[in-house]
Structure formats: structure tokens, C-alpha cells
Structure 1
């Protein structure tokens, strides 16, 4: 009750009435000498509330625990953080379902070589790619984001923004990834979007001696981690704001991807960020 009063600013009188507790009993309890455990919980509740505001509600209890332990150089148990967050009524934002896409007739198709084997032993071993769209409020303008995702460290290897979901957007994304990783010869997995099934794109892959892999028809799960990244980006940034200006939207996407790669700790990466985990392997 103390945490709810301090963090959420709920009136003590209202809380007492809801819980059927006399005011005098609450204040008697409040004025007692706090135990060490209660002092720690009090401090943790303040930190949780501050981080919840700082990160605009995107931290669930797992990543909240990671952030607290990283910044405070502590080792708090995940169950403790979850319990305090529940008491405070704090939870992360909810991810929305992604819409489908329009079918087309492909020039070239590839087998699903990846076959949902989403684990990679080394950086640049398996890359996933896709394009997603964003809408600007009060306008017919759309912004498209093409990205390449490394299954080893969950990093965004390269990305490009554009006003059209065309070949140039996808080709530029691929070219940047190869420019930054010239020796890379990963398995390259995508859906069956028309850019990836074009002869021109296949020629690009062949030049780099890259194995192409494609999801089965209407099987988004075959590209699951890539779809997962889109959901994370949109639930933690896009859906939390109302964008009326495309330049503002572009800037926020750029900021989020930098945050995701360099500051967003992940349990799957042993509590490191994607770039920290990647650099450990490369160095």
C-alpha cells in the first residue's frame, strides 16, 4: 500500500477504504521501524517507477531486473522485481498482431533451408530480413523499414528507411550489410516478397556465395525472430506515440534501433546488449 501511495500517488484514505483497513492501523504500521528488507523494497519500488517512466513502459519484469542489476551493480532476484511490479500495477506494453501482405508471382524461389533453426554458433552465420511499414497520422504517406537481423546476437546488421517498398530499399539494405561485413557468407532467409524472389537479387547473393532460404507460403513463423523484432520495435516505440510528421518518425526509428543494438539488454544474450555480445565473439 505504501508503494502504491508513493509511486502511483493513490490517496491513503481511498486505499484504506478499498482494503477495509482503519486509517489508524495503517499509520501505526507506517511509523514503525522499517526492517532492512522493507527498506530495500522501498528503494527498489522507486527505481522501478523511475525506469518505467524513463523507458515509456516497455520494460517487463525480466528486462526491468536486467536494467536494475546493470545500473545498480546488484543481483536482485527476478521474482522479487516481478512481485514489486505487480504490487505497483506496473507491466510492459502489449505487442500487436502484424498484418499480412499481398501475394505476387515470384521469378525465383528457394527452399526453406533455415527450417526454423534459429540458433547460430557464430556472427554472420544466419541472417534474416524483411520489410515493415509505418503510417503517418492524417496523411497517406507511409514509411518503410527494411532490416537484416543476425541470429547469433539478435543485432540489426543493417537497415534502410524509404517512402516506397521497392527493390532499391531492399538492395541498399543488403549492400550496406555486405559493405560492413565483406567476408560474410551467411545463410540469407526471407519471406517470398517480390524483391527477394527477383533474379537481380539472386545474382547479388550468388556473387557473395550466399545460400538463399525462404519461408514457406503464408508461414510467418518461418521468419519468427525477424517478425519478433518488428513487434518489439512497434510495441516499444511506434504504438506509444502518434506520428504526424514523417521526419519525426524517421528520427525515432533511428534512435530506437540504436537503443536496441547498444542499450537493450537481453536475457538470451547473458544479460548483454546485441552489440556487446557480438563484439565478444568478434574480438
Structure 2
């Protein structure tokens, strides 16, 4: 059941977007089409919404909800695979559950490469950690709660194959500090430079993806 604020936010966005159902639901991640239509009709008739929505029995039990969230958490946080594996619920319902329990998830982001629901900060940390090589890819994946293929996919998406290969060569050719303090300081400075360059590349690529996503929203 959605709160008064959630329903009012959906209706106001629906009006701002020119009463486009798909665009509104895609941006918010909720509700279903019929629910949004009903909220809008109520808003037009009464110039407001009921503070307390009419209660109805939940379609799914709490046990089903927890099972779906656990599958989502332990299977690469993928909404589509969870729906296929369990056969329930709908995308809107599961998205709402995920947003409630995992507030860091951004499953309402548009754009194919960003649809999994990971935050920008988590992606950047994964790519930087993968390129720095301070720990193995599997250790990094376990620490971040994702899979190894997801880490490499992030790196390719945000840096591209050419940039990733270039960073790998720089890492291979870097001196390994042994005894002299000067070499240790030089290695630390080189690592800082690589991290700054990585962050710059990540932000630039993320900005490009967001522009494409916004253009897609405007066309829909």
C-alpha cells in the first residue's frame, strides 16, 4: 500500500509528463497503470487524494516478499532474474520492495547498462578496486556483494575495452616497491594519479550515459 505522499508524487509527475503512463512509472518504479489512472481520477474529482488509501489484502505474503528479496540479494541483485526464477511478483511490486529494503538501489534508473540497480558510488569503487589490484577480483566482488562478471562489465561499460587494457599495461609495468622509501613514495603517487584519472573517466562516462537516458525519457 502506497502512502499519501507516494500517491500524490505519482499523480503530480504524471501531470507534469503530459499524462504519459509509461514514462511516469518508469521514472518512479511504481505503481501499476490502473492504480495510477485511479489515483488521477480521484485527484481530478476531489482536487486531492485520500490521506489514507483504502486498505486491501496484500497479494503476496510476507514470506513470499522476503524470499523474493533474498533471491534478489544473492543473485547479483537482478530484478529480471528474480522474477523469472520465482514466477512472481510483477516488476513494479518487486521494484517497490527493493527500494524499501535496499535504499541504495537505483532500480528506476533508465538505460540498459544501468538497469541493475547499483549506485554510482558502488560501481566506481568496484572499477577502481579492480584496476588497482590491491585484492583479487573475487575478493573485491565478495566484499561489494556482486559477481566477478559484474565487476568486469562495469569496467568495460565505464572505461571501454581500450582504456581498461591501457590501465592493465600501466599496472603491469609499474615498479614494485621493495626497500627504498623513495620508490614507495613514487608508487603511492602513481596510484593516486591513477585513481584520480579513473574517477575523472568514470564521471565523464556516467555523465554521457545520463544524457542518453534523459534523451530516451524525453522521446518516450
Give the structure-2-normalised TM-score: 0.25
More strand by share: 1
Q: Which structure is higher in RCO with an 8 Å CA cutoff and minimum separation 6?
A: 1
More helix by share: 2
**Structure number with bigger Rg:** 1
Give the structure-1-normalised TM-score: 0.21
